[in-house]
Structure 1
């Protein structure tokens, strides 16, 4: 199975044999890849019951839970990596969820859509409307995205909290792009964070 570009970056970077918690794991594609390709003890939490059922039917260790409420039940430093891919912008309090990820995991991967990308800016400037694109395919009134952050917003948030950025990757479409002007050029970003 071919992984979504941000998930492929994460899968490449996770150390073999690691304990991993994927919060907002969706259909479990990353969990399966980490288990099968890297021998990881990969588990997931997902809010959508249909996705949970699909994951369990595929033999994946996934529970139903809400990142905003249920991360508190996980013990400190219980995994090497806590992962939040394309979920940060859907949480009620991204700052608190990020703190929980770094409490549970020694390191955290976070990926999110960059709402500062030039196509988003252009759509707002010329059309006066929130964009609907291949990577943001849902109209503003039906989207699960409730926080529209940019790469620079995220960098500011982690700096204010004393969180270390160990590595960052920027994606334009399905390809990686340079960090130069990433807040303008990248459609998605992936960060590896630590305390």
Structure 2
């Protein structure tokens, strides 16, 4: 029997809801493989994970998830064109130095990319900046001096990046504390989710 939706965190459940049963999935920065393990059990996907941390790879293997150690900054050259149906990059793109490259690589190896990131335009982030401090929150848990995040963005910034690279936004969802935000999403939403594909007739930038 399938576990209820609450088996996953709300952000991971939203991603899982977007995944087609029986599809091929690549999870970049997969952590300990929680999402892939759920998808393998409940949607019978053929999933693979990539993560930099050895401890996370060990945890993935223990959970029955196929995963390899790899540095996303070096690209996805180990994967052929159109190898996957869905390629996931969850709350990681803001920590990437080569942002455009990883977005284009995701859409080279996959039919669809799912990208999530903390929305820097969230009202609590703005308020902390007004008070003279860099934001620290549930979705931005680091201090300015030890954060791995180097490329903060808002919804419009990511959508402009997509347009520049011939990428079509198929769907956008914004959440805060596990609930969807429909009104003033760039102000009231702390976490952004995008499903994107290569725009018809557009070659890779």
TM-score, normalisation: structure 2: 0.91
Say if 2:142 is the partner of 1:142. no
Q: CA deviation at 1:107?
A: 0.5
Aligned mates of 2:138, 2:166 — CA distance in 1: 34
Which residue number corresponds to residue 157 of structure 1? 161
Paired residue for 1:4, among 4, 9, 30? 9
Aligned length: 193
Say if 2:158 is the partner of 1:169. no
Which residue number corresponds to residue 193 of structure 2? 190
For 1:128-139, list aligned pairs within 5 A: 128-139=132-143
Say if 2:102 is the partner of 1:101. no
Aligned mates of 2:12, 2:161 — CA distance in 1: 22
Paired residue for 1:74, among 72, 79, 100? 79
Q: CA deviation at 1:135?
A: 2.4
Secondary structure of 1:59 counterpart: coil
Aligned mates of 2:138, 2:90 — CA distance in 1: 17
Secondary structure of 2:7 counterpart: coil
Aligned mates of 1:50, 1:43 — CA distance in 2: 16
- Does the aligned pair in 1 maintain the 2:75–2:102 contact within 8 Å? no
Which residue number corresponds to residue 17 of structure 1? 22
Secondary structure of 1:72 counterpart: coil
Secondary structure of 2:73 counterpart: helix
RMSD, matched Cα? 1.2
Which runs of 5 or more residues in structure 1 are unaligned? none
Aligned mates of 1:169, 1:158 — CA distance in 2: 16
Higher relative contact order (CA 8 A, sep 6+): 1
Which runs of 5 or more residues in structure 2 are unaligned? 1-5, 199-205
Secondary structure of 2:49 counterpart: strand
Q: CA deviation at 1:124?
A: 0.3
Aligned mates of 1:161, 1:123 — CA distance in 2: 32
- Does the aligned pair in 1 maintain the 2:121–2:153 contact within 8 Å? yes
Runs of 4+ in 1 over 6 A off after TM superposition: none
Aligned mates of 2:152, 2:141 — CA distance in 1: 15
Say if 2:114 is the partner of 1:114. no
Aligned mates of 1:3, 1:98 — CA distance in 2: 25
Q: CA deviation at 1:57?
A: 1.7
